[in-house]
Amino acid sequence: MAAPWNHLRGALLTAPWVVWLFVVDVLVSSLLPLKPFFPDATYHLSSLLASTVWLWIQRIFTSANGAHISVSGDALPRGESAVVVANHVGWSDFYLIQALALDAGMLGRCRYFAKIQLRWVPFLGWGLWGLGMPMVSRKWDRDRKELDRVFGGIVRRGWPTCMYRYPARIRRARRTADPNPLTSTGLISFSEASRYTPSKHAESVAWCEANRRPQPRHLLYPRTKGFLATVQHLREAPHVRAVYDLTLAYQRGSVFQAPPTFWETLSAPGLSAGPKPYRFHVHARRFPLADLPAGDDELARWLERRWVEKGEWLEAKRVEWAGETR
């Protein structure tokens, strides 16, 4: 009897938000013709509108549905612009990321990589474009121009931003013969990034063995090309001062890395309570951009080391939570 009620409850909670999402998409889309003439004003107004959408859905998750997000690691300075990398577990990842962005006063400044096909979707795609989301195709010649477009405003005009990437999508094992894995990968987005599954982990292990790369625990091997392009572009922006490495951890009952479905986050009450509660945790590490290696190869290895360390942290968290559930 609980499931039908939860579906109805979710519909009642999200219907007003969906209406407001559409209104915001229309408003942001209407700003596109003004963008060439008033770039700063349209960027800041679009960010303000976006923050209302993200805050509303965040409150559904935490306040209405009882999700408790715990945080550890480095304190993130309020209002700081940064490049952010994170492991990808499920659709609920953005709630954990937004919890930090909200505390840092950067919720409306979040920018995610999106598929270029969305640009032609009326209002939704136009809204993403108007917000300055990088619209990528995974074809490097085309994507390079898109990154120049997106990062140009951030670098030249000093727009505050948090640029999020999920660099953990792997190529198929049949392509393990690639002689230069760190420079042949492509840009990815939140919607395309591969979530961790046993089958994808097996592919990642095979790829790492064939290419003599370390396999991080609980993770897929990171892709690097988009990360390199993002960091190298934003080094030129003096207000972008850091890279944030976020590690996202979940548990339901005794099952580690078991996130809720997207619909559960919107419809199920008491997410962090009951006999099998969900745990939500994000561990933050801040690295000054000036301290990162300058060369692409060294920077790719830097990201690889972060993923190995991230895997060790996840294993320690798994052991900690396992001891608490006995």
**pLDDT tens digit string along 268-285?**
999 999 889 999 999 999
Query: DSSP states of 132-171 as a string?
Result: T--EE-S-HHHHHHHHHHHHHHHHHH----EEEE------
Please give the pLDDT value at position 271: 96
Please give the pLDDT value at position 57: 94
Please give the pLDDT value at position 162: 54
pLDDT digits (tens, 9 = 90+) for 197-239: 777 777 777 878 888 888 888 888 887 777 887 888 788 777 8
Q: CB of 92 within 8 A of CB of 259?
A: yes
Cα separation, 196 vs 200, in Å, equals 6
Please give the pLDDT value at position 241: 86
Please give the pLDDT value at position 146: 65
Q: Which residues of the chain have pLDDT under 50?
A: 1, 166, 168-193
pTM recorded for the entire structure: 0.82
